[in-house]
């Protein structure tokens, strides 16, 4: 049995039914993909045993080619949402850490950074940090030029 299959297609009523194996995508992915189509189609989800059924009816009349294209778009959207779901899952800890740091920073706390808040350059002896070195002579003071322009 295939994992995704077009069950019905009827250009007369601008309807089509797609069935998807329940093990292929999480339910959240199905919701997210269906949500994207709500503005241009009437969407009804159902379940028959081990398969989700997606009934779509175009809000505007659709010929067979358009209905087939919409089916393909729906399958693509499922894949895109599945990837999005996976990326969020994998990066959940990182997202939480960044959000915690941002909120802590906005609240005036150190966000657990500790000594990381110390200046990167030792202002007593900045040359030691290497940022004053300019072996290619790229650095040029701009203040005097600006003063002349005025």
Partner 1 sequence: MPSPSHFVTVKLHRTLYGEQAISEAAATFGDFATFTVHPEGDHYVVDVSDIDGEVQGDVVAEFCNFALANAALQRKTSDG
28 closest CA partner among 99, 98, 102, 86: 86
If one asks whether residue 64 binds partner 1 (CB under 8 A), the answer comes out as no
| CA separation for the pair 109, 22 (Å, rounded) | 46
| CA separation for the pair 60, 11 (Å, rounded) | 11
CB-nearer residue toward partner 1: 36 or 101: 36
If one asks whether residue 96 binds partner 1 (CB under 8 A), the answer comes out as no
Contacting range for partner 1; rule: CB under 8 A; set: 23-31, 69-77, 94-102, 130-138: 23-31
| CA separation for the pair 50, 4 (Å, rounded) | 12
26-29 LR contacts (CB < 8 Å, sep 24+):
26/82, 26/85, 28/85, 29/78, 29/81, 29/82, 29/85
Query: Phi and psi for 38 in degrees, rounded to 5?
Result: -65, -25
Smallest gap from residue 11 Cβ to partner 1 (A): 14
CB-nearer residue toward partner 1: 13 or 76: 13
| CA separation for the pair 120, 126 (Å, rounded) | 10
CB-nearer residue toward partner 1: 42 or 131: 42
Q: Which residue has the tokens 């005025």?
A: 150
Q: Which of 11, 55, 75, 101 binds partner 1 (CB under 8 A)?
A: 55
Contacting range for partner 1; rule: CB under 8 A; set: 44-52, 106-114, 122-130, 139-147: 44-52
Smallest gap from residue 35 Cβ to partner 1 (A): 5
Q: Which of 3, 5, 7, 45 binds partner 1 (CB under 8 A)?
A: 45
Q: Which residues bind partner 1 (CB under 8 A)?
A: 13, 15, 27-28, 31-32, 34-35, 38, 42-47, 52, 55-57
């Amino acid at each position: 049995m295939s994992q995704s299959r077009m069950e019905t297609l009827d250009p007369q009523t601008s309807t089509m039914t797609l069935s998807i194996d329940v093990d292929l995508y999480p339910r959240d992915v199905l919701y997210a993909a269906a949500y994207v189509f709500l503005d241009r189609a009437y969407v009804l989800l159902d379940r028959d045993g081990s398969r989700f059924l997606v009934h779509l009816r175009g809000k505007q009349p659709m010929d067979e080619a358009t209905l087939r294209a919409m089916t393909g778009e729906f399958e693509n959207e499922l894949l895109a949402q599945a990837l999005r779901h996976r990326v969020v899952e994998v990066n959940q800890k990182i997202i939480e850490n960044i959000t915690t740091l941002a909120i802590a920073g906005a609240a005036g706390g150190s966000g657990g950074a500790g000594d990381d808040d110390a200046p990167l350059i030792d202002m007593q002896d900045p040359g030691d940090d290497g940022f004053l070195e300019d072996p290619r002579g790229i650095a040029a003071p701009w203040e005097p030029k600006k003063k002349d322009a005025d």
